[in-house]
Structure 1
Amino acid sequence: MRSNVLVTGGGGRLGRALSQAGGPGVFGLSSRELDITDAAAVRSALDRLRPDVVINAAALSRVQDSDTAPERARAVNAEAPGDIARVCAALGLPLIHISTDYVFGAETRRPWRESDPVSPVNNYGRLKAEGERNVVSACDRACIARVAWLFGDGEDFVAGLLRSDAETVMVADDQVGSPTPIVPLAERLLALADRMSAGESVPKVLHLAGSPPVSRADWVAAAFEALQGAGKTTPRLVRVPMAAFGGSVRRPHYSALDCSLAAEFFGGEIDWRIAAARPETFAEPVLPA
């Protein structure tokens, strides 16, 4: 039986995917409907809706916002998750807190495991790592779900390149991560919610992302190849180093996540190549705006 799930950040990309995948049993509340920095409002929403599980998908997810709006970023990404966890603990509710691959950033050449110490290289990653710690310390029934490089909703990196109408696009060839198709991710999160609602023991941290690791340029190349095979026109891809883009925010060169624990837990990996090979994944938005 599917659980009733309250999703904070319901107006965001992942929040909308969860609502679409879960149907009427998912209560997605946008930031306008629920300000997660207001603990009393969170408690009121939980008392009113009485969910079986909470998924905190609310965040300031633009990396640069943690530098340009540091107080708001701290409130949303670091402090509010702990407040939500305390409310869930008081009500005996399981909590899935969405985090990010950007909690990692140290030099490595292998995918990051759940057991690896965090090593953020920018303020966004540091605040998300702090949010993780606040959740784990406040709620015994919490699971940190780290996700990465979402795509398949018409608002992702590849879709943005296609909308640019540029004849040539530059993409980093030295940034390696875990592209994650958003619909399979949403389905996996809801399955996790069901298992937590049923009282099943789950890992405290799970990497729920696509496999295998790939450079950003190779990911884009795979998507472009699929589109070209379907007769679509794509820009010419030029591979460049991350340094070519400049910018004041440092980003990790290697943030790929080892998802073998989740694969064992759910009975298989999320293979990003399957979704990327479907031209419709990028040609048309999968989810409503």
Structure 2
Amino acid sequence: MRVRVLVTGGNGRLARALARTGGSNVRTLSSAELDITNAASIRSTLDRLRPDVVINAAALSSVEASDTAPERARSVNATAPGYIAQACARLGTPLIHISTDYVFGAETLRPWRESDPVSPLNSYGRLKAEGERNVLAVGSRVCIARVAWLFGDGKDFIANLLRADADTVKVAHDQTGSPTPIRQLAKRLLALSERMNAGEAIPQMLHLAGSPPVSRADWVASAFESLRQAGRKTPKLLRVPMAEFGGGAPRPHYSALDCSLAAELFGEELDWRISTAQPETFTEQIMPA
């Protein structure tokens, strides 16, 4: 890859995956190196580094933090994306802004399409949706990439279940989404960077998540089965309703994303079942911290 990509949120999971995938052509900046809530700091950083493409992977991703630290959450998840988009537009630099399936939450009978109106259930989703609007209001050389349920870096939901070393785990059977293999996602984002830098027309909204839709419990069951076949012991899986987990910010029961537009763009779907069937996907050796 010859495109020079600057990635914000350098200590985050996706930024690390992008750095490992893109090598020396990917420059990541942590919050200590770049304060994305400071518009002047963003402008001076882009003036100095002059990347070909920017990927904004920075976010306050804890759903509950949007309630416990609302001012910080608004600054990072809603206001800062607009600052980054403005700085990129000033230099004519393409921007890929990472967003989330949690901008959706209304009842539906099908996966959410890019053209569907947002319907967030919690503050996190509302602020991320506001961040999307702030990016789209700035310029044309932007792409909002919605992702979901990242896995494959040793820090995902299933890896955490295994690390707990419990005899039994409870997983929601009534929460449906789009598990997304993080290494394959990183490859797509970097390929998208190259295409945007080359001036190719790219949709301004793109669902870059895994397919097909699956309940969280069925996804975990699939991973546990592949691990058992490889000789690894797994906990007993108890399928329970989301309501059993009690308080906290509400989560959508169905936030699966329709990724057919991305499949057309890249020639195939990002099938989570391929990575889930590989036991090594859920070992910490894949992507050590």
Q: How does the TM-score come out when normalised to structure 1?
A: 0.99
The residue that corresponds to 1:162 in the other structure is: 162
Is the Cα contact below 8 Å between 1:263 and 1:269 reproduced in 2? yes
Matched, 1:61 2:61: yes
2-structure distance, mates of 1:288, 1:34 = 24
Q: Which ranges of structure 1 fall in alignment gaps of 5 or more residues?
A: none
Q: 3-state SS of the aligned residue for 1:211?
A: coil
When residues 65 and 146 of structure 1 are mapped into structure 2, their CA distance, relative to the original with a 3 A threshold, is same
- Aligned length in residues: 289
The residue that corresponds to 2:280 in the other structure is: 280
2-structure distance, mates of 1:167, 1:230 = 18
What is the CA deviation profile of residues 218-255 of structure 1, one whole-angstrom value per residue up to 9, with x for unaligned ones? 00000000000000000000000000001131100000
2-structure distance, mates of 1:47, 1:18 = 22
The residue that corresponds to 1:104 in the other structure is: 104
Is the Cα contact below 8 Å between 1:152 and 1:285 reproduced in 2? no
2-structure distance, mates of 1:90, 1:286 = 38
* 2:242 partner amino acid: M
Matched, 1:241 2:248: no
2-structure distance, mates of 1:61, 1:55 = 16
* 1:66 partner amino acid: S
Matched, 1:145 2:145: yes
| % same residue | 74
Task: Report matched runs for 1:89-128 at 5 Å.
Answer: 89-128=89-128
Q: 3-state SS of the aligned residue for 2:256?
A: coil
Q: 3-state SS of the aligned residue for 2:105?
A: coil
Q: How does the TM-score come out when normalised to structure 2?
A: 0.99
* 2:36 partner amino acid: I
Is the Cα contact below 8 Å between 1:5 and 1:51 reproduced in 2? yes
When residues 119 and 86 of structure 1 are mapped into structure 2, their CA distance, relative to the original with a 3 A threshold, is same
* 2:182 partner amino acid: I
1-structure distance, mates of 2:257, 2:179 = 10
Matched, 1:260 2:250: no
Matched, 1:14 2:14: yes
Is the Cα contact below 8 Å between 1:155 and 1:285 reproduced in 2? no
2-structure distance, mates of 1:86, 1:208 = 24
2-structure distance, mates of 1:27, 1:205 = 24
Deviation at 1:139, TM superposition (A): 2.1
2-structure distance, mates of 1:151, 1:133 = 27
* 1:279 partner amino acid: P
Deviation at 1:140, TM superposition (A): 1.5
Q: 3-state SS of the aligned residue for 2:137?
A: helix
* 1:63 partner amino acid: V
The residue that corresponds to 2:171 in the other structure is: 171
Deviation at 1:284, TM superposition (A): 2.8
Runs of 4 or more, structure 1, over 6 Å off, are none
* 1:112 partner amino acid: W
What is the CA RMSD across the aligned residues, in angstroms? 0.7
